Amino acid sequence: MENWKILEGGLDNVSGFSSYGINCGIKKEKNDLAAVLSDTPAAAAGVFTCNRVSAAPVLVTREHLLKERKLQLVIANSGVANACTGERGIEDAKKMADFAASCFKVDPHLVAVASTGVIGEFLPLSKIEKGIAELSRILPTKKSSREATKAIMTTDTFPKERALSFSWEDKTVHLGGIAKGSGMIKPNLATMLSFIATDLDIDALALDRVFREAVDQSFNRVTVDGDTSTNDMVLILANGKSGVEAKEGSPVFSLFREALFWLTKELAQDLARDGEGATKFVEIIVRGAKTEEEAKRGAFTVAESPLVKTALFGEDPNWGRIMAALGRSGIEIDPHKVNLEINGVTLVEGGMKAKGVGREQSQEAMKTRELRIIVDLGIGEGEFGVWTCDLSFDYVRINSHYS
């Protein structure tokens, strides 16, 4: 990281990009419509939800992206998901893209559309079109990544944006990103949107490959509640404005890969920190599994267990719930070889309560805002880590009144 510089804010740092967010009337007062604009068509890549009930904007944006693997404009709304809306939903998403293309004077297939909010409602197109027209008058002369970030939030409690730069010879490459999501979070993305921009000059196919790597080690390691949304979308645009070209296998490509991994990891961890009603950020690492895939299954089973998550909320060192979750995960396990620790305090040795660790000491380990749980199965070399949060009273309250 010696060539890196962590920057304040998000997309505003990236040359040739501008973004902004406004209220167009979907919500009463808060921002609900955002635009991210590149001065020129940009190489682009995207990863979308694996939920087979995919929302209309996911289908339309995927179709646009595959035409040339380029994008220039992203339009995103919150408040209405445009999911489970049939053929009208598809037509509305296309109209949203076409209207934005005409306002911003870009080709329609270079427009990505994204939506998040309540499933089953139709887009209020008249409000959205009025908002798009307003955004086209604002950009690119005025920009605010923070306002754009606020416009894609639903139950989020804080805006999520990250940025960094790195030097290459006498030039500087910038990366910036924004994200939303706090509930219905499960890998194969989550109820999340994330838009990432860079001014690196990179081939679209190479960008796609490295981006999928980055998503797998970041967004796809987050789980809040085990639910996969209909609207998940993560996009990256690279417009080449830095003048630095990166070819696969080159030193600058390696630098970019490392920077992209950091950016996506930071945004992903912010999602877990902002889990609906969350009071704990939790990292769960399963090592010593027979394979990495088995470690992954074990880690996610623990992370998604309601009994484990409520114990974390109550700061109850009930390690038996973790052992039970591992036992039902379907992975190979020898209970007599399992060791377990929380924040450096060993609670289980050889599948049994660790000797010399009292209740007071184990409870103290649970009281921090961030928890690190390490499980060693002791039967192989497989290792995998995930990020999650606890399950609190507020999670039930928020989700019982969402629509």
pLDDT on residue 360: 83
pLDDT on residue 186: 47
pTM: 0.86
pLDDT on residue 277: 61
Peptide bond preceding 317 in cis form (omega within 30 of 0) = no
Q: How far apart are CA 253 and CA 182, in angstroms?
A: 32
Query: 225-240: per-residue pLDDT in tens?
Result: 544 556 788 999 999 9
Angle (CA) 160 73 248, round 5°: 80
Query: 48-66: per-residue pLDDT in tens?
Result: 877 667 789 999 999 999 9
Taking 50 as the threshold, does the pLDDT of residue 167 lie above it? Answer: yes
Q: How far apart are CA 78 and CA 57, in angstroms?
A: 12
Taking 70 as the threshold, does the pLDDT of residue 96 lie above it? Answer: yes
CA-CA-CA-CA torsion for 148, 51, 121, 226, nearest 10 degrees? -80
pLDDT on residue 211: 96
* 83 touches 140 (CB < 8 A): no
pLDDT on residue 78: 94
% of the chain surpassing 70 pLDDT = 91
Closest Cα to residue 119, out of 24, 49, 23, 222? 49
225: number of CA atoms within 13 Å, CB side?
20
| Mean pLDDT, the chain, integer | 90
The crossing angle, in degrees rounded to 10, of helices 292-303 and 306-313 is 60
| Higher-pLDDT residue of 186, 199 | 199
Query: 103-149: per-residue pLDDT in tens?
Result: 999 999 999 999 998 888 999 999 999 999 999 999 999 999 999 99
% of the chain surpassing 90 pLDDT = 72
Annotated domain spans of the chain: 4-273, 281-400
Set 49, 116, 149, 191: catalytic member: 191
User: Is-catalytic flag, 191?
Assistant: yes
Taking 60 as the threshold, does the pLDDT of residue 172 lie above it? Answer: yes
Query: CB under 8 Å to 314, separation ≥6 — which residues?
Result: none
pLDDT on residue 136: 98
* 129 touches 123 (CB < 8 A): no
Sheet with 281-289, strands from edge to edge, namely: 352-353, 345-349, 339-342, 370-376, 281-289, 382-389
| Higher-pLDDT residue of 401, 223 | 223
pLDDT on residue 399: 54
238 strand-pairing partners: 43, 198
Taking 70 as the threshold, does the pLDDT of residue 2 lie above it? Answer: no
* 33 touches 135 (CB < 8 A): yes
Taking 90 as the threshold, does the pLDDT of residue 248 lie above it? Answer: yes
Beta strand 345-349 with 17-22 is: unpaired
- Fold for domain 281-400? Ubiquitin-like (UB roll) (3.10.20)
The arrangement of secondary structure in 4-273, i.e. its CATH architecture, is 4-Layer Sandwich (3.60)
pLDDT on residue 45: 97
Mean pLDDT of 37-52: 90
Provide the pLDDT confidence category of residue 400 given band limits of 50, 70 and 90. Answer: low
Taking 50 as the threshold, does the pLDDT of residue 216 lie above it? Answer: yes
pLDDT on residue 52: 67
Query: 255-301: per-residue pLDDT in tens?
Result: 999 999 999 999 988 888 776 667 888 999 999 999 999 999 999 99
* 117 touches 80 (CB < 8 A): yes
Query: CB under 8 Å to 243, separation ≥6 — which residues?
Result: 171, 201
pLDDT on residue 69: 97
pLDDT on residue 328: 92
- For the record, the structure tokens of 127 come out as 């409000």
Query: CB under 8 Å to 355, separation ≥6 — which residues?
Result: 349
CB atoms within 10 A of CB 105: 9
CA-CA-CA-CA torsion for 360, 364, 367, 370, nearest 10 degrees? -140
Q: How far apart are CA 203 and CA 72, in angstroms?
A: 15
* 171 touches 242 (CB < 8 A): yes
Max CA separation in the chain (angstroms): 70
pLDDT on residue 185: 45
The crossing angle, in degrees rounded to 10, of helices 306-313 and 319-328 is 160
